[in-house]
Amino acid sequence: MTLQQLRYLIEIAACGSISQAAHNLYTSQSSLSVAVKDVEAEVGVTIFERSNRGITTTREGMEFLGYARQVVEQADLMEQRYSRTAEPVEQHLSVSSQHYTFCVESFLEFVDEYEGSGYTFTLRECRTAEIIEDVRDFRSDVGILFQSSFNKQVIGRALEDANCAFHALFTARPHIFVNAAHPLASEKMVSLDDLATWPRYTFEQGNANSFYYSEEPFAELPANKRVIVSDRGTLSNLLTHHMGYIVSTGVMSSEMNTGVVAVPVDTKEIMTVGYIVHNERQLSSLALKYIEKLQLFIEEYQVGYSGL
């Protein structure tokens, strides 16, 4: 197979249409169809499924295209490095994360400081299962999630099945985030019993709505009042204007400093937040730079840091 064929397949997957991809690439549909047929025959897998509604990428195709993107990206970087006439190569970074403000603010700082001429940077705040799927299928370079003694075995098995590895960033005692006017806000530490009468906020996990995939510790404990949300904006409004709580890491940020406080939970449980990467993927310099931003941000803002 050739680099040109790989570029064709990547564009078809992005467009979901051979005709649109052909238009974007200034080539004929027949050329793209031949490229797909030849590559599928060479690698022995079906990359695309055709239907009246267009083209969809198969599971095997997603994996293949993940490798193809790496090959094309590396070829572009090599051409840029050694060719005096080559145009600057557009840089790519994709991150999937649980709903952590420190991931977002580190990402924004990373984007602000990037000095390249062209780029596509993506941050997806999504469900735990989707994070693992994104990294497994090479849609994201890295994924950010947490492990604890409760979910470590299940999450670890899911990562193993996805051929991904977990790398710890930091550990922390669980904290609750509450409105500064909340009766628990002035406590030096709260117990799980203290939380029983208050509404608990959690992030929705869709079809993988298992306690093991929850973004918050102690998801397995009963709660008579529960509010489930899917985005940080709604959560921020709940914390600022209502008297519920969410359990998280204790890492504050400028977004949460007004009207919200973190209070440690009296527990032996420890949260280990880290990033996951595919075992067949070497992190790019951009991904490493983003991880460095994460580490610096955490060191500055974390409450109750317990070390690795």
Query: Can you tell me the mean pLDDT for 255-281?
Result: 88
What value does the mean pLDDT of the chain take?
88
Bridging pattern class, strands 175-179 and 260-264: antiparallel
Q: How confident is the model at residue 228 (pLDDT cuts 50, 70, 90)?
A: very high
Q: How confident is the model at residue 55 (pLDDT cuts 50, 70, 90)?
A: confident
Query: Can you tell me the mean pLDDT for 155-181?
Result: 95
Pick the range with the lowest mean pLDDT from 74-78, 138-142, 148-152, 253-257. Answer: 253-257
CATH number listed for the domain at residues 3-82: 1.10.10.10
CATH number listed for the domain at residues 172-271: 3.40.190.10
Q: What's the pLDDT score for residue 69?
A: 83
Pick the range with the lowest mean pLDDT from 12-16, 187-191, 256-260. Answer: 256-260
Q: What's the pLDDT score for residue 267?
A: 95
Q: What's the pLDDT score for residue 253?
A: 65
Query: Can you tell me the mean pLDDT for 1-27?
Result: 88
| pLDDT tens sequence across 178-214 | 999 999 999 999 999 999 999 999 999 987 778 999 9
Q: What's the pLDDT score for residue 293?
A: 94
Query: Can you tell me the mean pLDDT for 17-43?
Result: 90
- Report the top-level CATH class of 93-169+272-301: alpha beta
Q: What's the pLDDT score for residue 294?
A: 93
Query: Can you tell me the mean pLDDT for 102-129?
Result: 91
Give percent above pLDDT 90 in the chain.
Answer: 59
Q: What's the pLDDT score for residue 141?
A: 92
Indicate if the pLDDT at residue 88 is higher than 60: no
Indicate if the pLDDT at residue 22 is higher than 60: yes
Q: What's the pLDDT score for residue 304?
A: 46
Encode burial over 98-123: b for 16+ CB neighbours within 10 A, e otherwise.
bbbbbbbbbbeebeeeeeeeeeeeeb
User: Token digits for 75?
Assistant: 């070829």
Q: What is the side-by-side order of every strand in the sheet holding 245-248?
A: 226-229, 200-203, 245-248, 175-179, 260-264
Q: What's the pLDDT score for residue 305?
A: 37
Indicate if the pLDDT at residue 156 is higher than 90: yes
Distance CA 231, CA 100 (A): 10
Give CATH 3.40.190.10 domain extents, the chain.
Answer: 93-169+272-301, 172-271
Indicate if the pLDDT at residue 255 is higher than 60: no
Q: What's the pLDDT score for residue 72?
A: 85
Encode burial over 10-32: b for 16+ CB neighbours within 10 A, e otherwise.
bbbbebebbebbbeebeeeeeeb
Q: What's the pLDDT score for residue 20?
A: 87
Q: What's the pLDDT score for residue 256?
A: 55
Cα-flanking dihedrals φ and ψ of residue 203, to 5°?
-95, 135
Indicate if the pLDDT at residue 10 is higher than 50: yes
Query: Can you tell me the mean pLDDT for 30-53?
Result: 90
Give CATH 1.10.10.10 domain extents, the chain.
Answer: 3-82
Q: What's the pLDDT score for residue 307?
A: 34
